[in-house]
Structure 1
């Protein structure tokens, strides 16, 4: 208890390096002339309420292996990101350990955007496709986002938008090497050509490897990125960025609730080291492997009236597989992932007068499932403890999800007032699918194309495409009360859709057929999940410190739950329940003096269903008003960078409040506090080098045992057959990094 009091006092004293971007008429950049480690930009370039992380903040908070932008935005209030290890890669096929204001990602939408383009999704790979050295900034959008920065299958929880660090004007080589605990080894190399006439290019390569911190298994990741910019004159610019990432790693075992309550005994429990008859708990059958390629471009022309036309095409390819056990852990499932997404944004921006500008555009996109899942092979474990093909767990042929979305936005400033008004129309075609699962067995070909060609369509479990349409308005108003105080209000509507209905129907087909219910009947009733998000806040600047309190409220309609339908006499997942989220956030950041930078954030967050729902013919849930699972109600984060001569010392403290594994609150996980500590030393000027740095990183300094994330749906009940599983956070670890620029 004494240690916890000391740590909480340290958090309150240190605060944390985060700032909430809100519009001000005066451009304010919080930075430290002494090259501090906690530099944060607080000016707003887009009349929006967002949160931005600069290059320096990315370097400080991305961790010793620099593979996850989510670790950076995890310093923001109301953002809870708890990976199983420092790589940030070990989410399961069903769960990404990220919540923003209590919400997690629904459906196959992705939170990542690259240069405001929707290049990511879930399930699938790509969670580690970014080397943080290649990015100059990260913008975090929570409830509010401009009409052109919220694109994708879903934007319910917000977006994380990465800005590429453009090729340098002069030739430069950057090299970094990291070694550390659990055989961690990472090498990074980037070469910039410098500007060659009208062209500048950079290319990078990295290789990362390491063992799991418990049990058998490892990670192996390779990443390549190429960027090119062509600027023949001041009016025309063409940019192109290509990323290719290969990630292979083993997953961590999820504990039961009984085990999670006794971490002294079970913290290091993991998958079996050897295969055994009848059990799918073998470590090498619980893994994932993906190859991801992303291509984006920007063609931009500026006219004489300062209007700008942009065309931004994108393409991403995601191919690989998940291996995981069935619920009873008696069979093994191989989920094949092979999908792509592509599209483009055409945008025209024009100043109408000194006080008003207009932006209008059109997004066209296509995205291939999963989700929902379309190809899962099933295996039994034979008498020799080996996998034996047993047919298809799911076999379906999908169409593409399609998006057509025009938008328009007006923004500007007058005297002390700043404003932005936008609206986007969404035409979203949810892909139809033909189900071939029924009737397949071990004699069915294990080749997907062959199985489809030789299979029979199951009319009970097949559906036509379904189209959703929705208007998505957004409003931002900011007012400068004094030269150092700004207040703001914003509103935006966001959307999403969970795709759990199809796999639920296929798995329980016999029950639905017995009730004479087709999937099409249920499909026709589905609707989007919508969130109406409101923020009101203030930004106060004093002596270089920015203080940012913020209140938020969200009304959710059409949230998914497994609801009993009395008309059909059966329960199934449907988007029909209402929910609500509200809370308070506080952030501060800036220099305390010439030698100290500080950042602090804290939050209070309520997110809950506003109604009970029927779970069976005779049962009704009693969860109204109960906090959603795995969503902490409180959180505090703090960091301080102290500089003396060529040294920088940065302690980072995070407190995460208690959470529940189910929505009826019978499985409680206690709060926890972790402390990280970085020591950075910039070597004196070395001939032939622009800079040289040595960094020591200590993670979880006090070796705290804690539950990092909970794998559970938001509507999980204590009576459900499938129970939550609990992922343990990493213990103490240490890393040494050397960086050279020449």
Structure 2
């Protein structure tokens, strides 16, 4: 395969053959920002006992495009991370679909991919997906194959975790003001004030407002973030941090394409929802496809040094989310509009105690407790049809249910240490994962109250579609082992088990209740057979330093059990945890300094991920998907960014190549490869308005105006022309953005 990536090739060749500047890392002669000096990635120190990549503030400001909102736009430069958002802000996607794959795997269930200060506070569906401005983040840790037991948290961890480390309140008083403008009426204003040290207390507060029109079709996006941070350290033994976050997100969604339309982008690239209300039986209207959410979150970190060798840490967290998601749906040839109401919260805490017995042995014992209220699965979906005047007419509930909380709890233990050139960490969680009970209701006609709580009293409990709690008890092990070949070079092997669960069975049953009842099948009978999906992941790799460049080649394999697939049994089709899948691949990451004015980050990856068996598709047929690459999972990806500094200017072109993908598990719907090129230009201007630092930034995205498919919305076992068929969303066209940043 020939990759037409001259920039990436130049970077790789130069990195490998450059004359070493120094055994030590050198800092690029970048006067852009005090916090942005240095490398894109923070090197893992020998003996760190972690297999992760840490993206620095330089990466956050240079690679995050103009929105500075979504950490996925930064970590997409890591090998095997596939993130191609539908627009340049990187934050507009369906409420139920997280458009990121890591090592070809997609996220499952109502679990979020990212952590905040090590707490699993994100969830999906709902709001708060980008509730922290990247200006308030000091670094982002990407954990892929290996997860230590105190990071293996949340409703799902199958694809890994992205940990956002908050930029603490600063010791010195100051301010950060930023204004960005650009294509499609884009605007973002960010303001942060730091109090500086006030005795033992430090405080910061920030607000941001983002808005822009959609890049295609009618509609817009508006987002508000507010954040308050406090740091309190009365003595050397005790320290505490508290963060309060408020997020408001309102935006219109983009329409998806069929496969036939996705193959003709010259015609359909800009296709979107209609801009006028239909007067016939149609649901194609942009203002019936939107979402709005209001989210509040609290994260704390309390650390107490009980002695020289003893540390106690407590990390409580809480999030509440309220909003609604409107979307078009056609059932039995009837166009409908659904209003998915969501009001839920989650909370929990991670407690740990560390004791050091010396360099050879450090012991950690801890306990994690987590509760979250659905959705998912959905509990409040109202349905509407369009009348002859183009107005919506309420027709009752599509889904009406009452649920308990999902609960996860896990004691864990970890031993780690250093034995000369050998560094190790071995840990174990014993996790109890409890799925919420579901009381489902029938009799939900248009006469039923639109108030969810009142509707529950008016409807009839449905014993066919109701279930009790379901518990999974699972051991979650983790092992990391490395050996120092020299003072700079290390080889490592690691293993960890990750987990997840899709909640598709209940809405599938509720939507097709009659077919199940005819066969005499209750939801409880299917519920009893559910299993937790697990993935056993093994990595083998090396970190090698040549001059001022770090090279990280690795190979990996994942054995996935109890993977959800749509199967046929007893006369009906439904999702069940019966599948086995295999994932494997190779990665190469490189970053560092070529000359004092030239720095780069680059990655290459190869991924295979597929079911290892076929499934019964109907009474007479089986699927033909065994060994086929799963949907929306490119086999090859290559990314690179190169920063050149000339006095007060820094020029950063970047390129991302994504190979062809499939939209279905049978691999009949092929989507072409594409390459995206961006350019970032930063200029440190003379001080303005009394600022300490003044920075102008100009960013151009998709320079070649490439027409491409960004996200494929598909189940992993999606098949063409059936109930699991896929849809396709186009990516963002060319965009130009400018920003002014002032720091005081």
Q: CA deviation at 1:117?
A: 0.5
Q: CA deviation at 1:34?
A: 3.9
**SS of the residue aligned with 1:413?**
strand
Q: CA deviation at 1:741?
A: 0.5
| Contact kept in structure 2, 1:610 and 1:625, CA below 8 Å | yes
**SS of the residue aligned with 2:645?**
strand
Q: Tell me, yes or no, if structure 1 residue 572 matches structure 2 residue 574.
A: yes
TM-score for both structures, normalised by structure 1: 0.96
Give the alignment partner of residue 202 of structure 1, picking from 193, 199, 204. Answer: 204
Map 1:426-441; keep pairs closer than 5 Å.
Answer: 426-436=431-441, 438-441=442-445
Q: Which residue of 2 aligns with 1:60?
A: 62
| Contact kept in structure 1, 2:94 and 2:253, CA below 8 Å | yes
Map 1:226-265; keep pairs closer than 5 Å.
Answer: 226-265=228-267
Q: Which residue of 2 aligns with 1:310?
A: 313
Q: Which residue of 2 aligns with 1:670?
A: 672
Q: Tell me, yes or no, if structure 1 residue 374 matches structure 2 residue 379.
A: yes
Q: Which residue of 2 aligns with 1:584?
A: 586
| Contact kept in structure 2, 1:64 and 1:178, CA below 8 Å | yes
Give the alignment partner of residue 536 of structure 1, picking from 522, 535, 540. Answer: 540
Q: Which residue of 2 aligns with 1:611?
A: 613
Query: In the TM superposition, what whole-angstrom CA distance separates every residue of 1:700-728 from its partner, at most 9, and x where no partner exists?
Result: 00100000010111101124145311110
| Contact kept in structure 1, 2:211 and 2:220, CA below 8 Å | yes
- Structure 2 Cα separation of the partners of residues 435 and 119 of structure 1: 27
Query: In the TM superposition, what whole-angstrom CA distance separates every residue of 1:542-570 from its partner, at most 9, and x where no partner exists?
Result: 111000001000000000011112xx332
- Structure 1 Cα separation of the partners of residues 693 and 543 of structure 2: 36
Q: Which residue of 1 aligns with 2:34?
A: none
| Contact kept in structure 2, 1:16 and 1:599, CA below 8 Å | no
Which range moves more in the overlay, 39-48 or 538-547? Answer: 39-48
- Structure 2 Cα separation of the partners of residues 371 and 46 of structure 1: 37
CA distance 1:347–1:417, change in 2 (3 Å): same
Q: CA deviation at 1:37?
A: 6.8
| Contact kept in structure 1, 2:80 and 2:605, CA below 8 Å | yes
Q: Which residue of 2 aligns with 1:635?
A: 637
Q: Which residue of 1 aligns with 2:44?
A: 43
- Structure 2 Cα separation of the partners of residues 31 and 322 of structure 1: 47
Q: Where in structure 2 are there 5+ consecutive unaligned residues?
A: 16-22, 32-36
| Contact kept in structure 1, 2:140 and 2:165, CA below 8 Å | yes
Q: Which residue of 1 aligns with 2:526?
A: 522
- Structure 2 Cα separation of the partners of residues 149 and 59 of structure 1: 25
Equivalent residues, number: 728
Query: In the TM superposition, what whole-angstrom CA distance separates every residue of 1:107-146 from its partner, at most 9, and x where no partner exists?
Result: 1111010011010111111122110000001001112111
Give the alignment partner of residue 9 of structure 1, picking from 6, 20, 41. Answer: 6
Q: Which residue of 2 aligns with 1:689?
A: 691
CA distance 1:614–1:28, change in 2 (3 Å): farther
Give the alignment partner of residue 647 of structure 1, picking from 649, 670, 690. Answer: 649
Q: Tell me, yes or no, if structure 1 residue 214 matches structure 2 residue 216.
A: yes
Q: Which residue of 2 aligns with 1:126?
A: 128
Q: Which residue of 2 aligns with 1:22?
A: none
Q: Which residue of 1 aligns with 2:404?
A: 399
Give the alignment partner of residue 289 of structure 2, picking from 265, 276, 286. Answer: 286
- Structure 2 Cα separation of the partners of residues 428 and 101 of structure 1: 25
**SS of the residue aligned with 1:58?**
helix
- Structure 2 Cα separation of the partners of residues 249 and 16 of structure 1: 44
CA distance 1:16–1:448, change in 2 (3 Å): farther
| Contact kept in structure 2, 1:16 and 1:600, CA below 8 Å | no
Q: CA deviation at 1:576?
A: 0.6
**SS of the residue aligned with 1:133?**
helix
Q: Tell me, yes or no, if structure 1 residue 386 matches structure 2 residue 383.
A: no
- Structure 1 Cα separation of the partners of residues 370 and 440 of structure 2: 25
- Structure 2 Cα separation of the partners of residues 711 and 248 of structure 1: 21
Query: In the TM superposition, what whole-angstrom CA distance separates every residue of 1:362-384 from its partner, at most 9, and x where no partner exists?
Result: 00111100111111000010110
Which range moves more in the overlay, 302-311 or 67-76? Answer: 302-311
Q: CA deviation at 1:688?
A: 2.7
Map 1:412-491; keep pairs closer than 5 Å.
Answer: 412-436=417-441, 438-491=442-495
Q: CA deviation at 1:633?
A: 0.5
Q: Which residue of 2 aligns with 1:411?
A: 416
Q: Which residue of 2 aligns with 1:21?
A: none
- Structure 2 Cα separation of the partners of residues 279 and 642 of structure 1: 53
Which range moves more in the overlay, 120-129 or 206-215? Answer: 120-129
| Contact kept in structure 2, 1:29 and 1:43, CA below 8 Å | no
Q: Tell me, yes or no, if structure 1 residue 102 matches structure 2 residue 114.
A: no
- Structure 2 Cα separation of the partners of residues 470 and 150 of structure 1: 13
Q: Tell me, yes or no, if structure 1 residue 703 matches structure 2 residue 705.
A: yes
Map 1:263-278; keep pairs closer than 5 Å.
Answer: 263-276=265-278, 277-278=280-281
**SS of the residue aligned with 2:465?**
strand
| Contact kept in structure 2, 1:17 and 1:588, CA below 8 Å | no
CA distance 1:127–1:15, change in 2 (3 Å): farther
- Structure 1 Cα separation of the partners of residues 56 and 554 of structure 2: 21
- Structure 2 Cα separation of the partners of residues 39 and 296 of structure 1: 27
Q: Where in structure 1 are there 5+ consecutive unaligned residues?
A: 19-26
- Structure 2 Cα separation of the partners of residues 484 and 112 of structure 1: 31
- Structure 2 Cα separation of the partners of residues 40 and 573 of structure 1: 41
- Structure 1 Cα separation of the partners of residues 44 and 104 of structure 2: 27
TM-score for both structures, normalised by structure 2: 0.96
| Contact kept in structure 2, 1:17 and 1:640, CA below 8 Å | no
| Contact kept in structure 2, 1:34 and 1:595, CA below 8 Å | yes
